[in-house]
């Protein structure tokens, strides 16, 4: 499963330098977007194709999780 992550404001920032396939635990903070904190939605959330400095309305990256065959 994959979720698109969009910047709501021009103040979107990842909390760590973004890297593709960076893993986060469910509920772990990933980014801040103005007053909103974005947390990992899945037990093993992978950050895919992150954009270092997205502007409002742009894609910031993808949040994915492993799926079983």
**Tens digits of residue pLDDT in 12-66:** 999 999 998 999 999 999 999 999 999 999 999 999 999 999 999 999 999 999 8
Q: How far is CA 29 from CA 16, 67, 68, 69, in A?
A: 10, 22, 25, 29
Cβ atoms of 1 and 26 within 8 Å: the answer is no
pLDDT of residue 69: 58
């Amino acid at each position: 499963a994959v979720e698109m992550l969009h910047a709501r404001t021009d103040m979107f920032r990842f909390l760590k330098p973004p890297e593709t396939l960076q893993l986060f635990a469910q509920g772990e903070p990933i980014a801040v977007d103005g007053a909103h904190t974005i947390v990992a939605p899945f037990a093993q959330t992978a950050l895919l194709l992150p954009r270092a400095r997205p502007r409002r309305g742009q894609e910031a990256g993808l949040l994915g999780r492993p799926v079983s065959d």
